[in-house]
Structure 1
Amino acid sequence: MKTTKQRDYLFDNYKVFLIVLVVIGHFIEQSYEYNSFLYTLKWLIVSFHMPAFIFISGYFSKRELSFKTLFRKLVIPYIVYELMYYLLYIIIIHKSTRLYLMYPKFSLWYILALFIWRLLTPYVKKLPHYMMLSVTAGLLIGCSSIPDNFLSIPRVLVFFPFFLAGTLFDRDILTRLRNRKNQFLALTGIIAFTSFLILEPLHKNLSPKIFYGRYNYNYLGQGSLEGILCRMICYAIGFGMTFAIALLISEKKNQYSYIGTRTMAVYLFHGLIYSYLKGCTNILQNVNTLFESILLILFCILLTIALSSSQLTTFTNTISNLHLRDFMAHLTDYNIILPEHVYRYSNRRLAH
């Protein structure tokens, strides 16, 4: 008799929590520096939301996929979404830009990074002490002067340890640790860290961008040694908060759990809306009071719910299942011109 594997709603619920934080984190970007409540919230969000998301992505990437499958599921969607942002920028926002596929727009770096992580992980795992090597690479990339957005290389390296840790993670360990004592300790740790962000003044001499993984130490106003030590602390906070919240998230199916299966649609389309509001209005720059801050957060929650509609998820699922030949045919049908090297590469793939 065939049995159906029960869905793990803990990770669905965790992803719901994280995607809401992703939306909030972006929408408060324009006003957090002048709003004490949003300032603390920004620090709290960026300290762990991407590490946790990437850790979960790694957990669900244990199965190796072929290059062809990865290209179809990640690179083709990346090109499609880059095109969407490009059209939004030039037609609606009237922002001067080009279709720089080597320089991801807005949050699309994550899709490109996911492709690189999944492609490289099987080979990296063959190296001795690969976790230590990945952390070392994440620390040292901050000393380089490589363009911060070129193929998202800095963020790819900085966040790679979280992805690798996810691929190694054993769900049974979390089950064993989810007892009242450890949950109390986790909650105490989260409250202590939040209190630190509220009460401790010295960290405010730094920027929340120390958690972004995008910028080198010189940009952040740090020397190499200071930057490495700071990033090591960021790693510790990222891992600590990721596991602490995992101990507290509900394992039960809730009314909102379905959103955890639709995070790609939210991730993509909230960026388009944010880019429009940022480029065409001043509304996000004028969130000054606590009441306005709460309204903005409520808006972000409602937006997450709206963007998790089945129609938008159907769209993202369709894009992730496009085959390369069909994709290039659609571009030709609509007279869309991509950089020449993209066509050369696709023709080589089709020839094989």
Structure 2
Amino acid sequence: MTENKTRIQIFDIAKGISIILMTMTRYPFIETYPILMSFQNVAIIFKMPTFIFISGYLLSDRLDFKSFLHNKIDGLIKPLIGFLLSLTLLKITLYIIVSDEASLHGGLEYILDLPRALYHGSFVAVNVSFWFIVALFLGQLALKGFLVIMDLKKPIKYLFLITFLIILLILNTMKINFLWSEYIPIFFTYLFLGYGFKKIRIHYFNATPFFYSNKMVLFPILFLILHFTLKNLNFDIDLNLAGLHYNYHYLLILSISGVFSVIYLCRYIEKIPILNSFLVYCSRASFFILAYHIFIKDVFLILFDLETYQPLLHTFLFLLNIVLCCLIYMFLKKVPFVRILFYPLKTIVFSDLEIKLLKSKYINRFIPKEIALA
């Protein structure tokens, strides 16, 4: 296996770990287990930064901005629309099943959440996790825009660069929450660091497989030292990107050292076939896990006690939730026509009828030019 393929697999494992850790806090039983709470208090420092950093590292710079935008709409925004519609249907179905007196008005409230979400620029009423998808999309566009600016000729490059940085400063200062725009500076930072590290590695560490070198052990050591030191000096280390609890100095350094610590751990997880395969699949199904894990958890809340101390039951239900999300990811990809809404077009082997639909004049205009329809 080549270094590039191996490195990407390590990153898939790390993204799988990240997405699982992000879903864990949604369960009410977390507070029942002090050890789990302590672990979450540490994991919150790196669980979300890991996913964003790796997304920046894997960001392709082959496409121009227009083509990049098309691909991100196809891979992020289009599935988001599918998630919004499917979750609305699922919530209405659950409402009808569990309500003693289901009413038309009650069902319509779930449908009305969709136009309300568009009006307010927030999909929290449908699924609070969707903020992450939109923030990642906007952050990636910001990074791509920055890279386009850096390729411009002088002096226009500096004029656009100053404008770009002023916009980031305004977003960071004013906290514009429509469509989670306030998260753009934070996501841009981690994406830029990931992308930047890739460029540094290519130029300075190309002779050795850096992520497998013994030097990587320095990162978990650094993370433990920083965490211990900052905590004992009474520094606030409760980093929480979702809550905008973040700064650009010591918390950034602490979280980045945590990101590399996770990547270092993945080199050993890679040697465990079952765990390796499971985490890689979780990475591929990451947006499905974000989209559906809360709804599945809500169903579990109706059927089971998620607050009383029952470690075996809670562990089983949590893993079952992840597995069910992965099964939805696997199943929908085999459903003709429906899968078009949920998956990037370049990842689907289309049937003749699907190709005919996509080539119709009303739909074909929205298909990115880079995607060849056989």
Q: Same fold (TM over 0.5)?
A: yes
Code of the residue aligned with 1:179 in structure 2: it is S
The one of 173, 176, 179 equivalent to 1:146 is 176
Q: Distance in 2 between matches of 1:83 and 1:299?
A: 25
Q: Distance in 2 between matches of 1:106 and 1:254?
A: 33
Alignment root-mean-square deviation, CA: 4.5
**Maintained 8 Å contact 1:51/1:242:** yes
Q: Counterpart in 2 of 1:286?
A: 307
**Maintained 8 Å contact 1:139/1:232:** no
**Maintained 8 Å contact 2:18/2:51:** no
**For residues 1-352 of structure 1, what are the structure 2 equivalents within 5 Å?**
8-29=5-26, 30-33=28-31, 35-62=33-60, 63-64=62-63, 66=67, 67-92=69-94, 97=110, 98-99=113-114, 100-101=117-118, 102-104=121-123, 105-125=127-147, 126=149, 141=171, 143-147=173-177, 150-168=178-196, 169-170=198-199, 171-172=201-202, 173=205, 175-176=209-210, 178-180=212-214, 182-192=215-225, 202=234, 208=238, 210-215=239-244, 230-250=247-267, 252=270, 254-255=272-273, 256-258=275-277, 259-260=279-280, 263-269=283-289, 271-278=291-298, 281=301, 286=307, 288=309, 292=311, 296-297=314-315, 299-301=317-319, 303-305=321-323, 307-309=325-327, 311-312=330-331, 314=333, 318=340, 319-322=342-345
- Offset of residue 264 of structure 1: 4.2
Q: Which has the larger radius of gyration?
A: 2
Q: Distance in 1 between matches of 2:287 and 2:11?
A: 15
TM (norm. structure 2) is 0.64
Aligned pairs, how many? 309
Q: Distance in 1 between matches of 2:313 and 2:162?
A: 43
- Offset of residue 79 of structure 1: 0.8
What SS class does the counterpart of residue 146 from structure 1 fall into?
coil
**Maintained 8 Å contact 2:50/2:259:** yes
The 1:279/1:308 distance shift into structure 2, 3 A limit, reads closer
Q: Distance in 2 between matches of 1:34 and 1:132?
A: 49
TM (norm. structure 1) is 0.67
**Maintained 8 Å contact 1:57/1:166:** yes
Code of the residue aligned with 2:181 in structure 1: it is I
What SS class does the counterpart of residue 186 from structure 1 fall into?
helix
Q: Distance in 2 between matches of 1:249 and 1:322?
A: 30
- Offset of residue 163 of structure 1: 0.9
The 1:139/1:85 distance shift into structure 2, 3 A limit, reads farther
- Offset of residue 299 of structure 1: 4.6
